[in-house]
Amino acid sequence: MIGVAILDQDPMIRSLLETHVKKVEGYEIIGSMESIEELKQYYRQGKVQLLIGETRGIDGTLVDWIAKLREENHPLDFIVITKDTSYGTFYDMRRYGVIDYILKPFTYVRFRGALMQYRICKEQITPENEMTQKQLDLFFFPDALVGRYGGSHTLKNFNPHTYEKICEYARKRGGNGFTAHELAQDMNISRVTARRYLELMEKDGVLEVEMRYGEIGRPRNQYKFRRTE
């Protein structure tokens, strides 16, 4: 699980971010706060890997603390979600390694894409694994990765939470393919709904499909999660 800290002076924004983070598998909220000092306390516990939120707390700017962390070679990734549109702030955050920079007001789909991109990169690029060019391309060109995992096509008339649940269902099945009928039964949704989402996810590159031929009846589409490798 990726430990997350949320920083924002507005309690409603913090609550919204918490709700969105909880919808994406692989993340755990360690703390949610309005001040840099409180953020430091959570960070010292050693569980926070990713910071999400504003560029300022009630007691100072985030960039000052991030600069100190970098100077002392302490790791922390961060995704900025801010109303600050100044170039200077953006440049400073880029200089200190911001993972993503999202302007308020933001959409759930945009935020979900950032979380999915970060999680997949954490899974693929690790100290234990030898890096490949494909992995590095996905890291440095996130549009390709977000498209592959559900961000390139519109989600109009689709529920992003259902999309994410089906994505995680496919991911857990791994190499074990499944049909729209099996998905509908396992997730308690209609076959029509299952087919609509599966077709969209195939277009987005999340799933690959092949024909399953049985002894009796028409062949069925069998879906599998598309790995990055």
Which tokens go with 91?
């440049």
pLDDT (tens digit, 9 = 90+) per residue, 57-91? 999 999 999 999 999 999 999 999 999 999 999 99
Q: HSE-up of 9 (CA within 13 Å, CB side)?
A: 11
**R_g of the chain, CA atoms, integer Å:** 20
Q: Give me the domain span that covers residue 47.
A: 2-106
pLDDT band (50, 70, 90) for residue 124: confident
The confidence score (pLDDT) of residue 206 equals: 74
The confidence score (pLDDT) of residue 133 equals: 81
Which tokens go with 141?
């060109």
CATH code at position 54: 3.40.50.2300
| Judgement on whether residues 101 and 55 belong to the same structural domain of the protein | yes
| Judgement on whether residues 84 and 166 belong to the same structural domain of the protein | no
The reply to whether 172 falls in a domain is: yes
Is the pLDDT confidence value at 165 over 50?
yes
pLDDT band (50, 70, 90) for residue 153: very low
The confidence score (pLDDT) of residue 63 equals: 92
The string of DSSP codes covering 67-124 is HHHHHTT---EEEEEES---HHHHHHHHHTT-SEEEESS--HHHHHHHHHHHHHHHHH
Q: Tell me which residue has tokens 């299952």.
A: 194
pLDDT (tens digit, 9 = 90+) per residue, 14-53? 999 999 898 888 899 999 999 999 999 999 999 999 999 9
Please give the average per-residue pLDDT across 123-150, as a whole number. Answer: 67
Which tokens go with 101?
């920079």
The reply to whether 85 falls in a domain is: yes
The reply to whether 37 falls in a domain is: yes
Please give the average per-residue pLDDT across 184-208, as a whole number. Answer: 86
Distance CA 126, CA 111 (A): 23
pTM more than 0.75? no
Which tokens go with 59?
């007691």
- According to DSSP, residue 206 is labeled S
CATH code at position 185: 1.10.10.10
Rounded (5°) CA angle 110-172-182: 100
The reply to whether 30 falls in a domain is: yes
Number of independent structural domains in the chain? 2
The reply to whether 112 falls in a domain is: no
| Judgement on whether residues 90 and 149 belong to the same structural domain of the protein | no
The reply to whether 129 falls in a domain is: no
Phi, psi of 105 (to 5 degrees): -75, 145
Residues 27-61 as b/e (b if ≥16 CB within 10 A, e otherwise) read bebbbbbbebebbeebbeeeebbbbbbbbbbeeeb
| Judgement on whether residues 10 and 83 belong to the same structural domain of the protein | yes
Please give the average per-residue pLDDT across 158-162, as a whole number. Answer: 75
Question: Comparing 27-31, 132-136, 211-215, which segment has the lowest mean pLDDT?
Answer: 211-215
The confidence score (pLDDT) of residue 67 equals: 93
- According to DSSP, residue 5 is labeled E
Please give the average per-residue pLDDT across 95-102, as a whole number. Answer: 92
Contact 80, 88 (CB under 8 A): no
Q: Which of 81, 106, 131 is the last residue of a domain?
A: 106
The confidence score (pLDDT) of residue 132 equals: 81
Is the pLDDT confidence value at 213 over 70?
no
The confidence score (pLDDT) of residue 202 equals: 81
| Judgement on whether residues 30 and 102 belong to the same structural domain of the protein | yes
| Judgement on whether residues 85 and 31 belong to the same structural domain of the protein | yes
| Judgement on whether residues 63 and 149 belong to the same structural domain of the protein | no
The reply to whether 173 falls in a domain is: yes
| Judgement on whether residues 176 and 98 belong to the same structural domain of the protein | no
Distance CA 78, CA 122 (A): 13
